[in-house]
Structure 1
Amino acid sequence: MKQIVGQLAALMLITVLVTSVAATPAFADWDKTKYPAIQGTIPIEDGQDFKQLSNISLVDAMSTAEEAVPDSKAIYGKLTVINGYLVYKVVMMDDNRGHNKVLVDAGTGEQLYVSDVVSKDSYKNKRSYDKKHNKKMKDYFKGMTPEQVAEKKQQFKEMGDAWKSISLQDRATMIIHFMQMKMQWDTMSDDEKELKKQEMKEQWKEFLPLSPEEKKQKLEDYVKSLKN
């Protein structure tokens, strides 16, 4: 259990890295996007287990997505079913923190759909998201001076940049690891989760002040540890 908990600490820390640095909108509507009537090559029936049916890897899907949107990086991907066909859904993010999604056929590796880019500012018009997001940010920055808030926001941006700067293969390796470790996280008791959350908050505080180069190195070192 100690080894699992240690891995989960790193897992959740890096998961926060991926999802908190202005990527939240991309994940907030992850399963709410309405897609056109795409047709893939691997039909899936309701309730069918499709986890082992893909002919391509997550790396392949992310690579296809980055070719489709060359000015963005693939920050997350997942095997799923859209309109009855098995696809990889990949979230892309550009340097201005705008995001869009790419659907990749899990049978052939071909792109099936590329959504329009959604800017980070467009979410200001979504009241439910804006209210929740503002409260979360207000609570986080509570008691800080304007200078300290600006510094924290810069550190968040650097963390997002560090994630996007590591290789596509490394990003895919960690995403797959996230999914595997999430299953173990779900088996932990509430007390174990709460204890680990507190430990992760302390790790988060240590990670944020690192330089951009050190943040990137931390991520690359973590991937190396997964391969050993």
Structure 2
Amino acid sequence: MPIEDGQNFRELSKISLVEAMSTAEEAVPDSKAIYGKLSVINGYLVYKVVMMDEDRGHNRVLVDAGTGEQLYVSDTISKDSYKNKRSYDKKHNKKMKDYFKGMTPEEVAEKKKQFKEMGDAWKSLSIQDRAAMIIHFMQMKMQWDTMSDDQKELKKQEMKEQWKDFLPLSPEEKKEKLEDYVKSLKN
């Protein structure tokens, strides 16, 4: 769908995020849509949908926001391909070293297992639920931009506590918690 410069495109989409994610999942059958966003690319309104497979490989799918047609599917990017990018690797390694600082190798392995379970729980949600969560997180990001530094710090601490409670849960409990969270968004 063509868009003119400066045109407010948010209201112009003729399909929902759920429909775009469904189209993307049809285009890449062994993957799940984990994120989607309405964007203007080269003057056209599209949904950019990020897909993930069981091996944590990623694809990007562009879906026309007017017709719902799949426009483009990228090649799969393996999780290991990022290691070849020096700047990413340095930033990522620093973040990970800081995150796992002071943990034993067993604790690091347990944390990584918990994060994988979290990803699996996310992918097990329905497309409608994943879309609702994505929209919710986008709204949270817009609110974040208007918060004071003190409010941001308070919110960060609140989120850290939620993660501490969430990560040790079993995979099934994680899925139930996510489903409950989505239900709370719909009420």
TM-score clears 0.5: yes
Question: After superposition, where does 1:1-228 map in structure 2 within 5 Å?
Answer: 42-228=1-187
- Deviation string 1:108-164 (CA, Å, 9 cap, x unpaired) is 101000000000101111000000000110111111111111111000000000000
Q: Which amino acid aligns with 2:44?
A: Y
Matches of 1:143 and 1:180 in 2, distance apart?
Answer: 35
Matches of 1:113 and 1:50 in 2, distance apart?
Answer: 20
Identity of aligned residues (%): 89
Q: Which amino acid aligns with 2:79?
A: K
Matches of 1:197 and 1:180 in 2, distance apart?
Answer: 16
SS of structure 1 residue aligned to 2:111 = helix
Q: Which amino acid aligns with 2:144?
A: W
User: Residue 176 of structure 1: CA displacement?
Assistant: 1.2
User: Residue 199 of structure 1: CA displacement?
Assistant: 2.0
Matches of 2:22 and 2:85 in 1, distance apart?
Answer: 31
Compute the TM-score of the two structures, normalised by the length of structure 1.
Answer: 0.80
Structure 2 runs not aligned, ≥5 long: none
- Deviation string 1:169-209 (CA, Å, 9 cap, x unpaired) is 10011111112222222211111101111221122111110
SS of structure 2 residue aligned to 1:112 = strand
Structure 1 runs not aligned, ≥5 long: 1-41
Instruction: State the number of aligned residues.
Output: 187
RMSD of the alignment, in Å? 0.8
User: Residue 75 of structure 1: CA displacement?
Assistant: 0.3
Q: Which has the bigger relative contact order, CA under 8 A and spacing at least 6?
A: 1
